[in-house]
Amino acid sequence: NAGVTQTPKFQVLKTGQSMTLQCAQDMNHNSMYWYRQDPGMGLRLIYYSASEGTTDKGEVPNGYNVSRLNKREFSLRLESAAPSQTSVYFCASRDLTGVQETQYFGPGTRLLVL
Amino acid sequence: GENVEQHPSTLSVQEGDSAVIKCTYSDSASNYFPWYKQELGKRPQLIIDIRSNVGEKKDQRIAVTLNKTAKHFSLHITETQPEDSAVYFCAASSWALRGQNFVFGPGTRLSVLP
């Protein structure tokens, strides 16, 4: 049981390049989330998916798109990367159908945009 | 939307002393309040949580209290140990149009001095 996995672990992009961050969970959770974490700041929600087939904007969605490919996978895409998107990105999943409400985080992806 | 404030931003205590971190939230619809611990370079991990229908919850050396009227909740760590040193985040969660939205506080850096 790997929990929440993310790829890649680290990425360097040039301004204007695109990339997709991948996230997968094997806990059969319905809800999945993408956050960014900047130095000295808390986690800010980019997008979330309450269930397969649905996605909704969070606090800071501009410059990002997401795809809930299936119940396991939730990807985050940067179409034209900007230096302001340099951050650590965390994916998380959560099961809202049971008693346990814990949100489990992936190990993070460190993104540097030059 | 929801706004979560967290104080203090940094906290230093002597080993064995208690530490208290306070958070306030703005949305009266928020109904779930988790606390996360994040060690340097690691993912956030849930340490304790509380629902809006409960005033206090305790797990060994860690406790959380919630005052719904005043819209604030606090984390209490007793008998602190050096391994408690980390950044602690509070969060408030409420049901959005679909799924459950999370807003995090900016974090408190706790240092436990031996």
Per-residue model confidence as pLDDT tens digits over B5-60 = 999 999 999 999 999 999 999 988 888 899 999 999 999 999 999 988 889 999 99
**Preceding omega of B82 cis (within 30 degrees of 0):** no
Cross-chain Cβ contact A42/B105 below 8 Å: yes
Report CA dihedral (A79, A58, A9, A87) to the nearest 10 degrees.
80
Residue pLDDT, tens place only, A31-78? 999 999 998 778 999 999 988 889 999 889 999 999 998 999 999 999
- What's the pLDDT band for A4 if we cut at 50, 70, 90? very high
CB A90 within 8 A of CB A106: yes
**Chain B hits for A101, Cβ within 8 Å:** 32, 34, 49
Shortest Cα distance, chain B CAs vs residue A71, angstroms: 14
Angle of CA points B52, B43, A85, to nearest 5°: 100
Residue of B nearest to A102 (CA): B46
Q: If we measure between CA atoms, which residue out of B99, B101, B61, B58 comes closest to residue B80?
A: B61
User: What pairs with residue A75 in β-bridges?
Assistant: A67
Mean of the per-residue pLDDT values of chain A: 92
pLDDT for B2: 82
Distance of CA A59 to the CA centre of its chain: 13
**Preceding omega of B8 cis (within 30 degrees of 0):** yes
**Distance separating alpha carbons of residues A95 and A92, to the nearest angstrom:** 11
Residue pLDDT, tens place only, B77-87? 999 999 999 99
pLDDT at B69 over 60: yes
Distances B11 to A72, B21, B72, B103 between C-alpha atoms, Å: 39, 9, 19, 22
CB proximity B6 to A under 8 Å: yes
**Distance separating alpha carbons of residues A10 and A29, to the nearest angstrom:** 25
Shortest Cα distance, chain A CAs vs residue B38, angstroms: 11
pLDDT for B96: 61
